[in-house]
Amino acid sequence: MMLTTLVAIGLITFAVTSALSAAITSLASRVGFVDRPDGDRKMHQNPTPMGGGLALFSAIMIAVFLLRVVPNPWRQSLVEAGPWLWPWLIGGGAIVLIGTIDDCLALRARQKLAGQLTVAAFLVVFFPTVQRIGCFGHQVELGALALPVTLLWMALTTNAINLLDGIDGAATVVGSVLAATIAIVAAINGHAIVALVGMIFAASLFGFLRHNFPPARIFLGDGGAMLIGLLLGALTLFASRQESGAVPVIVPLTIWTIPLLDTTIAVCRRTVGGHGIFKPDRDHLPHRLMALLTSNRQALAWLAAFCLASSMAAIFGALLMSDMVGILGAIGLVGFLVSTHVFGHAELFAAARRLGRLGRSFPQTSLETPSSADHKGAPALSIGQWGSIWSTLVGSAVRYDWSEVSLAEKAPSRKRGYCAAWTAPHPKTDDPHWRIDLPVMVAGHVVGHVTVASARNRSEASRDIQELLGLLMSFEMQSQEAANTSLPVCLQQE
């Protein structure tokens, strides 16, 4: 009887979400609430309606309301869960509103982050904060850190899903796998209502996926992506909580391996590239999979497979009450993606070099004031040196079928800095599929930036980026030697 009721709840939620998605698609088209392609980050072919977050949120609200009024085995438990369930739903409505405003008015990243933290703070008022974390049988009291750690987790999961939402269906597929995993882990740990709500969430996401599957007829928008991240982030804490009140840190991290890896790599990429961490780009995991597979549906399939791998590790870890199972699964998945150059290899390599350079600089800069450290000894390259870099870059562009290359000097000592750009004379497509901006370093100083874009049909994006990093590293080493010997710099190509 209980299993039949669960199946009925899932099917009803699926149908309601599907119907609401169709209705909102039609309404959004009529009122002009659409996402228009811009030829850069937004690569879809036609204006596509937004508002998927509203469909998801409405379906979840309807399902919870029906479960509270229609006789069922969980009716009384849902009433008792009201002190956290209603704030959870109110927070979801608030984050959808913030995301919808952002979709309409393009809020600044800091404004959006402030809104996310406000909603997360509201939830923390009603939710128990993470007072203790457990790992390998040991528990650590967070004390004064309990509140900021809980807020940080909420903000992290909210943005992690939003960052992944780069191709049709990506955030929906990832959210579906995560919601189902959270429901199973909650059931294993004896949190029946959390498991029920997680199952409702998963069913609503599957209902929306019918319309969001490539080619998508409706997009989640920021409101929908942030809704998935915030509400599933909160449910993860509830699902993982033990009877002692401690939250095993390995379980949430394992469940969220793919979204957190993508966020970490994005921060590394943007920091090493000399950009702010809020600057959007097209180098997230879904974009890389698209570059390798040239098919949105194949990219979604592999993205789901990676999420399922970490989910299985989390589920078996919960069943066996073993943190080691979860952490080995997460490390193995990350190791596979990085070692095979599918994702993250170039960024982690560049970040490691930056950290190594920073560590070597401490003894030299500790006696200098900040102003002198910033300006003293900053190199100024000659036109010939910039020309050497440029000629090598253009040669690599022809050799590796890059579609665009540009080079720009930063803070030049001359009135006009070196600047050059190249575009393939006969590009195979006008739709570059990935683009990366990296710093040109000399003696620990950023002296310029190089930008490379590759055509959609490139199948080895990681190799191309590694090639570019190798060229820049070669130039940096040779320029350092030239500075020590007063010889001209000449970039050599292997």
CATH number where 450 lies: 3.30.450.40
> Residue holding tokens 């791998």?
309
Domain boundary among 223, 247, 271: 247
Report, as an integer, the average pLDDT of 39-49: 71
> Residue holding tokens 């590009």?
427
Residue 262: inside a domain? no
Domain boundary among 202, 231, 247: 247
Which CA distances in Å does 75 have to 64, 78, 234, 473?
10, 5, 22, 63
In this structure, the chain runs to a length of 494
- Which residues in 181-205 are b (16+ Cβ under 10 Å) and which e? bbbbbbbbbebebbbbbbbbbbbbb
pLDDT recorded at residue 355? 74
> Residue holding tokens 């404004």?
111
Supply the range of the domain harboring residue 238.
2-247
Q: Which of 216-220, 347-351, 454-458 has the lowest mean pLDDT?
A: 454-458
Asked whether the predicted pLDDT for residue 444 surpasses 80, the reply is no
Residue 349: inside a domain? no
Report, as an integer, the average pLDDT of 370-389: 56
pLDDT in tens, 216-275: 999 999 999 999 999 999 999 999 988 777 888 999 999 999 999 999 999 888 877 666
Residue 352: inside a domain? no
289 φ, ψ (degrees, to nearest 5):
-65, -40
Residue 311: inside a domain? no
Domain boundary among 199, 220, 247: 247
Closest CA to 232 of 301, 147, 159, 285: 159
Residue ranges with strand state E in 111-223: 132-135, 138-141
pLDDT in tens, 48-93: 999 999 999 999 999 999 999 888 889 999 999 989 999 999 999 9
Closest CA to 262 of 112, 157, 340: 157
Residue 58: inside a domain? yes
Closest CA to 455 of 256, 271, 291: 291
Residue 338: inside a domain? no
Count of structural domains, the chain: 2
pLDDT recorded at residue 65? 92
DSSP states along 254-269: HHTHHHHHHHHHHHHH
Contacts with 139 (C-beta within 8 Å, 6 or more apart), sequence order = 132, 133, 244, 246
Which CA distances in Å does 449 have to 420, 438, 439, 474, 475?
11, 6, 4, 15, 13
Which CA distances in Å does 444 have to 345, 397, 412, 468?
22, 26, 16, 18
- Which residues in 385-419 are b (16+ Cβ under 10 Å) and which e? bbebbbebbeebbeeeebbbbbbbbeebeeeeebe
Top pLDDT among 443 and 480 is at 443
Which CA distances in Å does 6 have to 88, 200, 235?
21, 9, 19
Residue 346: inside a domain? no
Q: Which three-class secondary structure state does DSSP give residue 331? A: helix
Asked whether the predicted pLDDT for residue 491 surpasses 60, the reply is no
Contacts with 415 (C-beta within 8 Å, 6 or more apart), sequence order = none
pLDDT in tens, 131-173: 888 888 788 888 889 899 999 999 999 999 999 998 999 999 9
Confidence category of residue 345, pLDDT binned at 50, 70, 90: confident
- Which residues in 424-442 are b (16+ Cβ under 10 Å) and which e? beebeeeebbbbbbbbbbb
Kindly tell me the burial class for residue 79, based on how many C-beta atoms sit within 10 Å of its own C-beta (0-12, 13-18, 19 or more): exposed
Q: Are 437 and 451 in contact (CB under 8 A)?
A: yes
Amino acid at the residue 327: I
> Residue holding tokens 């203790």?
132
Query: Which run of H or of E encompasses 12?
Result: helix 2-31
Q: Are 406 and 431 in contact (CB under 8 A)?
A: no
Confidence category of residue 460, pLDDT binned at 50, 70, 90: low
pTM: 0.76
Asked whether the predicted pLDDT for residue 483 surpasses 60, the reply is no
Dist CA 186 CA 193 (whole Å): 8
pLDDT recorded at residue 375? 39
pLDDT in tens, 23-39: 999 999 999 999 887 65
* pLDDT cut 70: percent of the chain above it: 82
pLDDT recorded at residue 206? 96
Which CA distances in Å does 276 have to 50, 285, 463?
27, 19, 25
| Residues pairing with 35 in the sheet | 48
Closest CA to 315 of 238, 229, 230, 240: 240
Residue 345: inside a domain? no
Largest CA distance in the chain: 85
Closest CA to 127 of 100, 88, 70: 88
Dist CA 311 CA 317 (whole Å): 10
End-to-end CA distance of the chain: 69
